[in-house]
Amino acid sequence: MEIFVVPDAAAIGAVAAGIIAAVVRSKPDAVLGVATGGSPLPVYAALAGHRLDLSRVRAFALDEYVGLPAGHPESYGEVVRREVTERLGLDPGHVRVPAGGAEDPERAAVEYDTSIRAAGGIDLQLLGIGHNGHIAFNEPGSALDSRTRVETLAARTREANARYFGSLSEVPERCITQGLGTIMEARHLLLVVHGQDKAAILAEALSGPVSAECPASVLQRHPHVTVVADESAASQLA
Ligand code: F6R
């Protein structure tokens, strides 16, 4: 595992975008795994500055809420369209987000895993970490070999994400998330973390026991992980 500690979120964006740009330069039709939430936004901003040709890149999102009306501005389908597809110039036909609005979300989840495999797997997966150690929406207790599936969001996750909605009651209770086993199949994992509020969980994930209680701890078992953290987030690392 390689860990870069940099001064702030903008520097995280610059370093992580440089890593992604190198992947795309060496493989113009690379398959990227994209994350939503606040952590990756500086990465997408910096990547836009590289003015790369991303038109052949394919992308898979980590997760999506279940139960939001189609086109809801905070659905991850819409967030990915705004922040990734349009901002970076990806072909919308090359970008997939789990079908949270599907009539049968369980089946949509299984099909999502199949489509990742059909694309040849993910070359580089961008990740953030939740305060409870979740990656994607694999909440504590998720099996380390879990596949893409329908899950119930933890209360803490809904509270954290209420900042994007009018109120807590508007945050969906369920989601489709890539599983930990699915994420672990990506060839390179790139975790970006900023802020003092993530310091304790980052230290637990990277140095604590590998356990379903801290889903991000599974990263310790992956052969190619890069962590880019600011000094606050890295302040409790050994
Ligand atoms: C988002 C995702 C989540 C977030 C995590 C951190 O697609 O899968 O795991 O990465 O909740 O969110 P932020 O970056 O908003 O603190």
ipTM comes to 0.98
Residue 39 confidence (pLDDT) above 90: yes
Does the beta carbon of 39 lie inside 6 Å of ligand 1? yes
The catalytic residue among 94, 113, 123, 134 is: 134
| Residue 134 C-alpha from the chain's centroid | 10
Domains of the chain, residue spans: 2-132+142-230
Place of tokens 């909605």: 165
Residue of minimum CA distance from atom 4 in ligand 1:
128
**What are the backbone dihedrals phi and psi of residue 209, each rounded to the nearest 5 degrees, phi first?**
-65, 150
Percent of the chain with pLDDT over 70: 100
Nearest to 54 by CA among 19, 76, 87: 87
**What are the backbone dihedrals phi and psi of residue 222, each rounded to the nearest 5 degrees, phi first?**
-90, 140
Instruction: Identify whether 132 is a catalytic site residue.
Output: yes
The predicted pLDDT at position 186 comes to 98
Instruction: Identify whether 63 is a catalytic site residue.
Output: yes
pLDDT category, 48, cuts 50, 70, 90? very high
Residue 172 confidence (pLDDT) above 90: yes
Mean pLDDT over all residues of the chain? 97
Is 2-132+142-230 in CATH node 3.40.50.1360?
Answer: yes
The predicted pLDDT at position 88 comes to 96
The predicted pLDDT at position 220 comes to 98
**What are the backbone dihedrals phi and psi of residue 171, each rounded to the nearest 5 degrees, phi first?**
-75, 125
**HSE-CB for 226 with a 13 A CA cutoff:** 16
Distance, CA 91 to ligand 1 centroid (Å)?
24
Residues with Cβ within 8 Å of 190's Cβ and at least 6 positions away in sequence, in order, are 16, 19, 20, 124, 125, 126, 127, 225, 226, 228
CB 128 within 8 A of CB 40: yes
The predicted pLDDT at position 238 comes to 84
Question: What is the rounded end-to-end Cα distance, in angstroms, of the chain?
Answer: 14
Long-range contacts of 76-83 (CB under 8 A, 24+ apart): 76/36, 76/100, 79/36, 80/34, 80/36, 83/36, 83/40, 83/41, 83/44
Nearest to 100 by CA among 34, 173, 158: 173
Residue 177 confidence (pLDDT) above 90: yes
Which residue from 12, 32, 34, 39 has its CB within 8 A of the most atoms of ligand 1, so it is best to mutate? 39
